[in-house]
């Protein structure tokens, strides 16, 4: 296969189609996601809201490049679905000068390691928004160009492969939603009304009957170091945060957590920052903003309770009992948490339902592994397709 080296500006040209904005008209803007995720559609906007913003029509087949985020793969090709939509001056639209280049091939090339390296070299700067790809620098890039039929063959093959991968990713997301729903259903049984739950041995209890505050506070020694843990929002559990020297913190006392305890972030409990302490974080420390509770294991399995409180139907209730103005000032007190009620099945039933939850968690871990593999497939295919060009 013969490959010639050409300047981008010799085969592609910038095509601007200015929009005369009418105040009472409605317009549909596009954006370009980074990391090769393609073009997306924004919510419709009125001409009055656009104001003096310079916007241009996008047409199918355009090579669309974000001049601000091209360096991280904000590059795509407009499809028929994008016809008649508009983009700001930040989105450069290029079309072929002649029949030597296919814009779909060009997009895939610039998303590969060899192509993205050229884009980054042409986008100088140290910070994201300072790494702007200027038109003249893009046009000065020299690329290896195979024959047009080879380009089209590669573009079709990569397009089909990427479409299959995206479909698998959508299925994985759907499976995740269904799996999470299984956990919520297993621990709260929304299919049963209160009478049915009561008849099945479930009882309505306050968390205060299951939890006892146990804030294992220790004095901070300036000469000591402490492993600090945090709690993710949205029921995603705990994580190791950092190792902190005592001399670096203004806290005089911090709290040590123990496996099996319930920990709550007062600041973010209303968005799901509650978790059961796992074994590998036992002995870590949290700030005084994290109340910790021992769990009465004779009444409730700690991991069953953890599954209940990390689910949105539970923690969304805490937003109504938080105090303060603005998201960063809203706090949930330990007492307000303890006042919350929930339906609790008998302990043997809890253990049986936990088996379903654990299977769901195993499946989630497998999906995470699959997700990482899927994310690597398209970049690997791109590099295989373009690494041999010289």
Q: Are 88 and 54 in contact (CB under 8 A)?
A: yes
Name the token pair of 97: 């000068």
SS3 category, 339: coil
Task: Label residue 214 exposed, middle or buried (CB < 10 Å: 0-12, 13-18, 19+).
Answer: middle
For residue 102, what are the CA distances in angstroms to 77, 113, 147, 330? 10, 19, 10, 53
SS3 category, 230: strand
Res 184: pLDDT: 74
Res 215: pLDDT: 92
Q: Are 89 and 70 in contact (CB under 8 A)?
A: no
Compute the distance between CA of residue 39 and CA of residue 150 in angstroms, rounded to an integer: 25
Res 1: pLDDT: 62
Res 324: pLDDT: 61
Mean pLDDT by 10 residues, the chain (390 residues): 89 96 94 93 93 94 96 95 94 96 97 94 75 93 95 94 89 76 77 88 94 94 93 93 90 94 94 94 95 95 91 87 60 92 92 83 77 86 83
Q: Is 353 left (phi over 0), alpha (psi -120 to 50) or beta?
A: alpha
Res 107: pLDDT: 97
Name the token pair of 60: 């199918």
Res 229: pLDDT: 95
Name the token pair of 377: 């497939």
Res 31: pLDDT: 95
């Amino acid at each position: 296969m013969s490959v010639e080296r050409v300047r981008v500006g010799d085969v592609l040209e910038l095509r601007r189609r200015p929009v005369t904005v009418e105040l009472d008209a409605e317009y549909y803007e596009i954006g370009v996601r980074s990391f090769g995720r393609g073009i997306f559609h924004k919510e419709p906007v009125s001409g009055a809201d656009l104001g003096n913003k310079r916007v241009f029509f996008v047409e199918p087949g355009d090579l669309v490049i974000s001049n601000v985020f091209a360096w991280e793969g904000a590059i795509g090709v407009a499809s028929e679905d994008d016809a008649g939509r508009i983009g700001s001056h930040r989105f450069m639209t290029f079309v072929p000068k002649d029949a030597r280049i296919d814009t779909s091939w060009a997009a895939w090339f610039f998303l590969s390691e060899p192509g993205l390296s050229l884009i980054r070299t042409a986008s100088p700067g140290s910070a994201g928004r300072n790494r702007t790809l200027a038109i003249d620098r893009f046009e000065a890039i020299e690329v290896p160009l195979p024959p047009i039929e080879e380009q089209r063959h590669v573009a079709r093959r990569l397009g089909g492969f990427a479409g299959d991968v995206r479909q698998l990713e959508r299925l994985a997301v759907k499976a995740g939603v269904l799996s999470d729903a299984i956990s919520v259903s297993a621990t709260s049984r929304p299919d049963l009304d209160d009478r049915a739950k009561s008849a099945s041995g479930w009882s309505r209890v306050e968390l205060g009957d299951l939890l006892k505050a146990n804030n294992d506070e220790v004095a901070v020694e300036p000469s000591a170091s402490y492993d600090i843990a945090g709690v993710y929002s949205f029921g995603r559990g705990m994580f190791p945060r950092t190792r902190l020297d005592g001399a670096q913190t203004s806290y005089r006392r911090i709290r040590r957590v123990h496996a099996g305890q319930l920990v709550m972030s007062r600041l973010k409990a209303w968005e799901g920052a509650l978790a059961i302490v796992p074994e590998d974080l036992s002995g870590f420390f949290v700030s005084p903003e994290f109340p910790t509770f021992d769990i009465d294991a004779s009444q409730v399995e700690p991991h069953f309770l953890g599954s209940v409180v990390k689910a949105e139907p539970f923690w969304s209730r805490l937003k109504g009992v938080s105090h303060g103005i603005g998201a960063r000032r809203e706090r949930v007190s330990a007492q307000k948490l303890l006042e919350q009620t929930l339906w609790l099945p008998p302990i043997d039933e809890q253990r049986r339902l936990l088996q379903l939850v654990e299977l769901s968690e195993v499946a989630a871990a497998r999906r995470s592994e699959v997700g990482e593999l899927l994310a690597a497939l398209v970049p690997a295919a791109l590099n295989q397709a373009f690494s041999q060009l010289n």
